[in-house]
Amino acid sequence: MIMKTTKLLTTVAFAITMLLSFNVNAQEFKDLDKSPMDASSFPSDYKDANKLIKITYSRPQLKNRSVDKLAKEGEIWRTGANEAAEITLYKDMKFGDKEVKAGTYTFYMIPGKKEWTAIINTDLNAWGSYFYNEKNDVARLTVPVTEGKESLEAFSIAFDKSDNGINMHLGWGTVRVAVPFRA
C-alpha cells in the first residue's frame, strides 16, 4: 500500500512539475504591430516566381493625422514606418537616367508640395531614417505628386506595367506618387 502511494505521489509530483515547466517555457507573443509590415511586387501574381522588383515596408495609419505631419516636407522619410523600406531589384533597372544594379537597397523619399524625391541607397537594416547617409545614395529621381479621389487610411504601395516599364505607386491620404522603373 505504501509502495502504491509513493508511486502515485511521485507520478503526481512529476505531472505538476511538467505542467509548471510548460508555463515557464511558454512563448509570449506581441500584439499586432500598429504599422504592420507588408510587401508589394511586380508582377503582383504571387504564383509568378519571376519577380522583377519587390519592396518591403511598414504601413502606418493616418488615425486623424495628416500625411504632411507624418512625412514632413523637405525631410528624409523612411517610406513607411519602423525600418526604412527595402527594395529588391531582381535584374538591373533604370531609375530615371541612372542604371541600378540588381540587389537590395533602402528606399527613401523626400516629400514636397508638388514633387517628391525618390532615393535608392545602399544602407540596409536601417531603423527609420535616423542614420540616413546621403553618401550611400545610388540614385535619386524627382517625381510629381498628384491627388487621389479617395483617401487611403493606411500607407500603401502597388506596382503596375506602363508603356515605358514599371510604375511603383505610393498612396496615403489623397497623396499619390508614381515612381518609374525600366527593366
pLDDT tens-digit profile of 106-136?
A: 999 999 999 999 999 999 999 989 999 999 9
Rg of the chain over all Cα atoms, to the nearest angstrom: 24
Tell me which of 26 and 33 has the higher pLDDT: 33
Q: Please check whether residue 30 lies inside any domain of the structure.
A: no
Q: Which pLDDT band, with edges at 50, 70 and 90, does 21 fall under?
A: low
What number is the average pLDDT over the span 137-144? 97
Q: Please check whether residue 136 lies inside any domain of the structure.
A: yes
Q: Please check whether residue 18 lies inside any domain of the structure.
A: no
Mean model confidence pLDDT for the chain = 89
Q: Please check whether residue 75 lies inside any domain of the structure.
A: yes
Q: Copy the grid coordinates of residue 152.
A: 487611403
Q: Please check whether residue 16 lies inside any domain of the structure.
A: no
Q: For residue 82, list its beta bridge partners.
A: none
Q: Please check whether residue 3 lies inside any domain of the structure.
A: no
The reported pLDDT for the residue numbered 67 is 95
For strands 53-58 and 165-181, give the pairing: unpaired
In whole angstroms, what is the distance from residue 80 CA to residue 25 CA? Answer: 35
Q: Which domain holds residue 52?
A: 37-181
Q: Please check whether residue 8 lies inside any domain of the structure.
A: no
- The tally of domains found in the chain comes to 1
In angstroms, the Cα distances linking 168 to 21, 143, 171, 176, 177 are: 50, 11, 10, 10, 8
Q: Please check whether residue 58 lies inside any domain of the structure.
A: yes
The reported pLDDT for the residue numbered 45 is 73
